[in-house]
Structure 1
Amino acid sequence: MFQYYFLLGVRSLRRNPALTALMVLTLAIGVAASVATLTILHVMSGDPIPDKSNRLFVPLLDNGPTEGYTPGDKPNDDQMSYPDAINLLNGKAGERRTAIYGIGQSIEPERKDIGAFTAGGLAVTSDFFNMFDVPFLHGQGWSPAEDKTGADVIVLSRKLSAKLYGDANPVGQRMKLGGLQYQIVGVLDTWKVVPRFHRIIGNDDGAFEDEDELYLPFASAIRHEFQRNGSTSCTGDVTPGFQGFLNSECTWIQFWFETRTAADRAELQSFLDSYATEQRKLGRMKRAAPNMLYDVREWLDHLKVVGNDSKLSAWLAFGFLILCLVNTIGLLLAKFSVRAAEVGVRRALGASRREIFTQFLIETTVVGLVGGVLGLLLAFGALALIAMQSKALTVVAHMDWFMMLTTFAMAVAAAVLAGLLPTWRACQVTPALQLKSQ
C-alpha cells in the first residue's frame, strides 16, 4: 500500500504544477539556507582530533606584572614566554610536549624556472608530529637528538614539495632557506585540520587558515635567530638584541602537552602548579594567578572559535525555515482543498480517515524529497558563494555526507510537519456533503 500511495504522490506533482513548483521551491529555499549555515557551524565546531582531544592540553601561566592587576582578571596572554617554554620542555611532564612558533623565510629554489619566494611554517619540536597524528608522504620527522643540537633539518608540506621537486621524493636533498642550507628529512601528506587547533593565535584566519608549508626544529630556528611570524605580547622592558628578547617575559610561543590518558590531567595540573610556585620563589609570576589547562575542545571554546555571530546566523536561518514552512502549510491547504470531492468519493466507497491521512501524508513526503534534492543543489550553490568571500571560509564551506543526509532528513521532516494540518483538514471532509454537491 505504501508503494501505491507513493506513486500516487509522484503523480500528484503534475496536478496544479504551478502550485506544486511553488511549494517545492519554498521548501527548498528554506532548507538550503538552513543547511548552508548549519554546515559551516558543523565544520567550525567539530572535534579536529577526536581520538585524543581529551589528552592534549594547552597550559597557561600568567607571568604578567602586578601593576593594574586585579585577582580574577584574565591571564596576561594565551601564549608563553621562551624561559617558560624551555623549562616545560626540560621538565619531562606528560608523555609528549612541544613548543611552537610561526616563522616565515625566503626559499631559493634550485630550479631556474622558479624565483625566490617566501614560505610560512612552524618551528616545533620532534614530538609535534606524533602528538597531532601528522601524516607523512615521504620520510619522517627529526629525532629528539636533533632537537637538542638544533640540527638544520626540515619537513615540507606536500604542496611545497610538489612546487619545488614535482612528483619526486626529495628526502635527503638539501634546500636553501633564509640563506642557510637545510636537509629535507620528510614530506607531509595533505594535512588539513579543521579547526586548526594547534596554532590558532597569530594567524590572519586563525583556526581556519590553510596548511603550513614547512616545519623545522625549534632549537634550529632559535639558534639562527629566525624572527617570529605571529603575535607577541610584552608587558615589561626588553633588553636589546635577540637574546635579550628570549630572556624577557614576552609571550609568543604556543605550548602543548600530551598525556598518556585523560586521567593524567590532574598529575599534569599538579606539575604546572609546582612549577609556578618555584618560579614565584625566583621572583617571577608575581600575580599568583591560577594556572590553567585546556584540552582541545576547551581550548576552542576559550578562544571562541565558534563565535556568537555564527550561532546567531544559524538561529536566523532556522527562523527563515519556519517562515517557509508556514507558507508551505498555506500552499498545501490550497492544494488539498480542491480535492475535497475526491476525498468525499473515496470515503463513500469505504476508505477510512486513516487511509486518507496516510495517502496525503505520503504525498507531502514526496514533495519533501523533491524539495530536498533542489535544496541540496541550492545549498551547494550557497556554500560556493560563501567560499568566495574569504580564504578562511573556503576551508569551512564544504558539505560532508552527514550534512547531505541531514539535508534530505530536514526537507522530508519539514514537509511532513507542514503537511500535518492540511492532511488533518482533508480527513474531516464529510462524504454526504461532497456527494450532494456533485
Structure 2
Amino acid sequence: MNYTLETGLRGCLRHPRTMLLAVLTLALGLASVMTMLTLLSVLSADPLPGISHRLYIAWADSRPAASSGENDTIDGTGASVPPLWKLQDVQAMRHQQADVRQVALLTAPLSVSNADGSNTRTASAVLAVGPMLSMFGVPLRHGRAWTPEEEQTRAPVVVISRALSQRLLGREDGTGAGIRLGRHTFQVIGISERWAPRPRPHFLPGNDPGWQGHGDEIFVPAMAAVDAGVEVTSTRQCDGGGFDGFRFDEINIDNCRWLVLWAELLDGVQHEAYARSLQAFAAQRRASGAFERAADTTLRPMGEWLRFNRVVPDSVRLNLWLAAGLLALCLVNVAGLLAARFLRRAGEHGVRRVLGAPRRSIIAACLVEAGLAGVLGGVLALPLTLGGLWLMRQQGEAYAPLARFSLPLFLALLALALLTGLLVGLLPALRAARQEPALQVKTL
C-alpha cells in the first residue's frame, strides 16, 4: 500500500504542465459552484431556527366584492394579494381560537425620542397584537415583555433593543425610562438583544423578499401605538376606494387591512383543527355579511411563505445551474487530461504488470494521482471562492452583504474536491489498467 501511494505521488511530479492545467481547470469549476452554493445556503437558511417550523401565517379574504373584470387572485397592480387583516377580524379570530397562540403584527419605521425630545431617532418597529416577543423568540437582555393585561388596557409600554437604548438614552439598560412615541410617553419595560432574522419572515405583505434593514429595534403593543397617534408607513388595503399602499401616516382601523396574523401550531392535529376553524370563521363572517366574497382562506407554514415570496431570487438559482454546467465542462476536460497522463505511461504500467503488479495496484496509483489533483484544485479554489464572494458583496442587491465564507463550507469544498478528483480519475485509471502488458512491453 505504501508503494502504491508512493508511486501515485511520484506520478504527480511527471509532466507538471498537464498536472497544473488539470488543477487549475478543476479549481475554476469548483470555485464557481462553491461561490453560488455558499450564497444559496445563506439565502435559504432558516431565519428562526427551532421556531419557524411551528409558525403559520393565516389569511381570510375580507376584501370587498370583486368589480367587473377583476381577477380574484391578484390586486389591481397584478401582484399577489397581501395576506392582510382588519383589526376587528384579527380580534375575532384570536377570540375564536383562544387556546392557540396567535400574533397579529406589522413592521414600520417609527420616529422615537427621549422623554424631553432632545434626541430623536428612527428605527424599525413591530406593532403587535399578542405575545410577539415570546412567540417569535426575541431575546430579552433586561426587563420583560408586556403582559396581556397591559395590552388589553392599552398601557403605554415598549421594549427596545440594546443598541437603540444606547443611542437614545445613553445607556445599555434603559428599563424604566420614558421615550416618546407619537403623542405619548411610553415606559421602557424591556431591553432586547439584536434581533434581525434574515430574511425577515414575519411581515412581507408586499411580496418583499425581506433582505432590507438591520433588524427591528422597537416592539410595542399595536393598540397603544394607535392611541398615541404614531405615524406608521406600511402596506395597507382599504375599503371604499381608500388610499392603499405605502406613504400613509394614519391607520384607518375600521376600513383598512394592515395586520398579518401568525399562529403557533405545535403538531399536525393542531394544524388541521386551526385550518378548519379558520375556514369556519371565514364562512361565518361571509354569512353575517362582514365578508363580501366567498369564504377563502390560506394557512402557510413559514418555509412555504418564504418560498412564496421568493426570498431566494431566481437569478441565484440560475447562476448555480450555470456554475454546475461550468463544473461539468471542467470535469470533462480534467478527465481528458488525466487520461492523457495515464496513457502516456502505458509502458511503465506494462512493466509493472509483467513484474506481478495486479490491476488494482495500477488503478490505486492512478487514483492517488487523481485525488491529489482534486485536493490541490480544492485548495486553489479557496482563494477563487473568496474572490467570487467578494465580487458578490460589491453588487447592489440587498442580500449581497450576506455572501461570506464559512469553515464548514470550506471543509465541504475539500471533501467535494477530493471526491471530484477520484470520480474524474476513475475512468482513465480503469482504461490504463485494462491495457495488455505484453503489448506495452513490446513497444519499449
Same fold (TM over 0.5): yes
- The CA deviation at 1:324 is 1.0
| 6 and 189 in structure 1: CA distance in 2 versus 1, 3 angstrom threshold | farther
- Structure 1 stretch displaced more, 258-267 or 398-407: 398-407
Please give the secondary structure, in 2, of the residue aligned with 1:184. strand
Cross-structure match for 1:59: 58
Separation in structure 2 between the aligned mates of residue 280 and residue 339 of structure 1, nearest angstrom: 82
Match of 2:77 in 1: none
Matches within 5 A, 1:64-83: 64=63, 65-68=65-68, 73=73, 76-83=81-88
Which residue pairs with 1:318 in the alignment?
324
Output the CA distance in 1 between the equivalents of 2:168 and 2:8: 59
Alignment of 1:222-237 (within 5 A): 222-234=226-238, 236-237=240-241
> 1:325: how far off?
0.6
Which of residues 325, 342, 345 in structure 1 aligns to 2:351? 345
Pairing 1:389–2:388 present = no
Residue 89 of structure 1: aligned partner: 94
Residue 298 of structure 1 corresponds to which residue in structure 2? 304
- Please tell me the residue identity of whatever aligns with 1:67: S
State whether structure 2 residue 106 is matched by structure 1 residue 107: no
Output the CA distance in 2 between the equivalents of 1:394 and 1:304.
16
Partners of 2:4 and 2:239 lie apart in 1 by 73
Unmatched 5+ residue regions in structure 1?
none
Structure 1 residue 168 corresponds to structure 2 residue 172: yes
Three-state SS of the structure 2 residue aligned to 1:228 is coil
Give the Cα separation in 1 of the matches to 2:207 and 2:390.
24
Q: Percent identity?
A: 34
Deviation track 1:376-402 (CA, whole Å, cap 9, x = no partner) reads 332232123212324632454234454
Q: 1:151 aligns with which of 139, 152, 155?
A: 155
Alignment partner, residue 246 of structure 1: 253
Deviation string for 1:276-315 (max 9, x for gaps)? 1222233232221421111112222322333443332222
CA contact (8 A) 2:163 2:172 kept: no
Q: Does 1:432 align with 2:438?
A: yes
The secondary structure found in structure 2 opposite 1:313 is helix
Alpha-carbon displacement from aligned partner over 1:385-428 (angstroms, at most 9, x marks no partner): 21232463245423445433332232222222211222122213
The Cα offsets for residues 15-38 of structure 1, whole Å up to 9 and x where unpaired, read as: 333322221121111111112212
Amino acid at match of 2:378: G
- Please, what TM-score do these two structures have when normalized by structure 2? 0.87
For 1:50 and 1:27, the matched residues in 2 are separated by 35
- Tell me by how many angstroms 1:122 deviates: 1.2
* Pairing partner for 2:219 from 211, 215, 218: 215
| Partners of 1:62 and 1:76 within 8 A in 2 | no
Alignment partners' CA distance in 1, 2:10 and 2:99: 66
Letter of the 1:43 counterpart: V
**TM-score, normalised with respect to structure 1:** 0.88
In 2 relative to 1, CA 332–266 (structure 1 residues): closer, same or farther, beyond 3 Å?
Answer: same
Is 1:262 equivalent to 2:244 in the alignment? no
The answer for the alignment partner of 2:124 in structure 1 is 120
CA separation of 1:130/1:69 partners in 2, compared to 1, >3 Å: closer, same or farther?
Answer: farther
Identify the residue that residue 384 of structure 2 maps to in structure 1. 378
- How far apart are the structure 2 equivalents of 1:198 and 1:274? 25
* Separation (CA, whole Å) in 2 of partners of 1:125 and 1:285: 22
Q: 1:205 to 1:242 in 2, by over 3 A?
A: closer
Structure 1 contact 202–230 (Cα < 8 Å) conserved:
no
Residues in 1 aligned to 2:278 and 2:196: alpha-carbon distance in whole angstroms: 31
Other-structure match for 2:415: 409
Is 1:334 aligned with 2:333?
no
Task: Tell me the SS of whatever aligns to 2:274.
Answer: helix
Unmatched 5+ stretches in structure 2: 75-79
Q: Which amino acid aligns with 2:85?
A: M
Q: For residues 187-229 of structure 1, what are the alpha-carbon distances to aligned partners after superposition, in whole Å with 9 as ceiling and x for unaligned?
A: 2223342332212235865256531122111111111232333
